[in-house]
Structure 1
């Protein structure tokens, strides 16, 4: 039996590559004769660069940028040349990721995306004519203000000190934005993200994702107000003009993906960027369609399989690709919180959780690879046709 193992990372415990190895180890114990192909995946968040570097003929450039609190941190740019196009792949989490912060440092009121702007600037300096920015896993909620400051849109002492400070912006705080946009006009900016949320509102960056980054309900409300002020200041420089058909002002804050990575998507849209599915970028890079056609069963997974998984994340992308090619897809997740009707509608043939109660959750956190491997071993006894 041919089995394709294509998980996302199990956030906070296992990288996508580590998860794939753990799943493979468990499967081999139950069905040692099966033919396994391991393809770690990402939707644009942590692991984006690692996955792409395995799949693409590329050059890696090492740089040092600021982390969410302004401390130096190592990062990398992946350069791929195809014809006359030089594409730079960037993982925003390398500069503004939540994983860069200790538990007591997680405060989106004061964290900044300044380092992401440094990454983009470095990529352009390397001659990139196309920059693909993987968005996800951020510890920030500044609307991309820090990133814009790093590129020259305004004073870093005002724009790169966290989301809360945006509430005090002067009307002229972004006077350099048109200049930055013009400088980057020859460069295609691509937002690779699974998130389609707008910047503001009940489905926006502060309300939905702020609590995951350490924001209390009160802090989320303050951040929402601050981002509202940020959009007002953006309006004073009006870098986008009006829609040619309707004549109405273009509102980048309402576009899908504007709320990604704490509003970093909004900042990139202001620079003329456009959004694509992060997981589709990765699936195309690894040649996933051909891999699915050459397999009998697809295994995917992530840390928590929940409602967000249904909206463009790795599991959804794998399920869709498998369904189109009439291959069964199975999910093995740390926790499975999606109902049977919903995962069946996605085209998934089975869902299995590593942990289903507090004791099992504690055990999984203590030994994530071992518990994932043992759960997979039991799954293999159900699905493999070549057990020994």
Structure 2
């Protein structure tokens, strides 16, 4: 039996650890297992200073999904010059002649910086701000673009507004999961597997386990392969699972306030799933 495993984080376990635990359980029960991490094989900076260093070192691909940008990218530009416009020109010169590929979460690829649907207003609202705060944030974002001599547009609001700067430097955006699937040949691997296994923290009908689980399910359906989910908690009935394209789901607990997920506990669940799926 051939098993393809690609997991998201499961509670306190990161995606790689969770996938390895699942893969090991199936391997120990005689399956041929391929474990794939659906994340770009690229540096993932958490600060703008770290991003500036990576760009200076010649990085051509960066994953910005963990980057905290509270200032529309002003900190990145300050590593070049105190004047934002002059700093942007310096960054353009640094990136001239090469295409920077920026991996982002798919839902932010086309988000503008300004307007009611822009990042500035949405971030203000998500931070607990009222209408006045949102309008003030939008005004600040418009002023920032004007200071840089840039126009707003799809993707300018990505990475906390840093997107406007990166697009002005010729960067190319990619959905991080799509990029990882293409780089690993995930679709081809799914077509050769007998079963595809993924994992997530909580599986409910609204979120369906998150974006990664949804994408894995789509690939599994296209390849006509059953997809099963191993989760911390599952709130979806068997009938609803099949409607969502999931053959079966297995949960670690049903507790409202679950205990932290440990390798030991998750391994026990994974072994039970592997014993169930043997043919």
Shared topology, TM-score over 0.5?
Answer: yes
Aligned equivalent of 1:69: none
Aligned equivalent of 2:97: 186
Q: How many residues align?
A: 275
Deviations 1:338-372 (A, max 9, x none): 7888865653333333343234x22xx1x422232
Distance in 1 separating the partners of 2:171 and 2:85: 18
Aligned equivalent of 2:227: 329
User: What pairs up with 1:52-131 in 2 under 5 angstroms?
Assistant: 52=41, 89-92=42-45, 95-96=46-47, 113-123=48-58, 131=60
Distance in 2 separating the partners of 1:220 and 1:179: 36
User: What pairs up with 1:1-388 in 2 under 5 angstroms?
Assistant: 1-10=1-10, 13-27=12-26, 32-42=29-39, 48=40, 52=41, 89-92=42-45, 95-96=46-47, 113-123=48-58, 131-150=60-79, 152=80, 154-155=81-82, 173-197=84-108, 198=111, 199-200=113-114, 205=119, 216-218=127-129, 225-226=136-137, 228-239=139-150, 250-252=151-153, 255-256=154-155, 258-305=156-203, 313-336=211-234, 347-359=245-257, 361-362=258-259, 365=260, 367-382=261-276, 384-386=277-279
Deviations 1:77-97 (A, max 9, x none): xxxxxxxxxxxx3323xx33x
Contact 2:61-2:101 at 8 Å conserved across structures? yes
Aligned CA distance change for structure 1 residues 337 and 260 (closer, same or farther; 3 Å): farther
Aligned equivalent of 1:70: none
Aligned CA distance change for structure 1 residues 323 and 148 (closer, same or farther; 3 Å): farther
Aligned CA distance change for structure 1 residues 352 and 204 (closer, same or farther; 3 Å): farther
Deviations 1:233-267 (A, max 9, x none): 2224424xxxxxxxxxx423xx14x4444333343
SS of the equivalent of 1:4 reads strand
Residue 37 of structure 1: how far off its partner (Å): 2.0
Distance in 1 separating the partners of 2:120 and 2:51: 19
Aligned CA distance change for structure 1 residues 34 and 237 (closer, same or farther; 3 Å): closer
Deviations 1:266-304 (A, max 9, x none): 432232222211111111222212321221000112334
Distance in 2 separating the partners of 1:345 and 1:232: 47
Q: Which runs of 5+ in 1 are unaligned?
A: 43-47, 53-88, 97-112, 125-130, 156-171, 240-249
Deviations 1:130-158 (A, max 9, x none): x22212133443323222333x2x42xxx
Distance in 2 separating the partners of 1:301 and 1:114: 33
TM-score (norm 1): 0.59
Distance in 2 separating the partners of 1:271 and 1:340: 49
SS of the equivalent of 2:264 reads helix
Contact 1:6-1:39 at 8 Å conserved across structures? yes
SS of the equivalent of 1:319 reads helix
Deviations 1:211-245 (A, max 9, x none): 9xxx8514998587446413322224424xxxxxx
Aligned CA distance change for structure 1 residues 309 and 187 (closer, same or farther; 3 Å): farther
Question: 269-278 vs 347-356, which deviates more?
Answer: 347-356
Contact 2:114-2:141 at 8 Å conserved across structures? no
CA RMSD of aligned residues (A): 3.5
Residue 309 of structure 1: how far off its partner (Å): 6.6
SS of the equivalent of 2:23 reads helix
SS of the equivalent of 1:117 reads helix
Distance in 1 separating the partners of 2:118 and 2:208: 17
Contact 2:22-2:270 at 8 Å conserved across structures? yes
Contact 1:141-1:206 at 8 Å conserved across structures? no
TM-score (norm 2): 0.79
The structure, 1 or 2, with the larger RCO (C-alpha pairs under 8 Å, 6+ apart) is: 2
Q: Which runs of 5+ in 2 are unaligned?
A: none
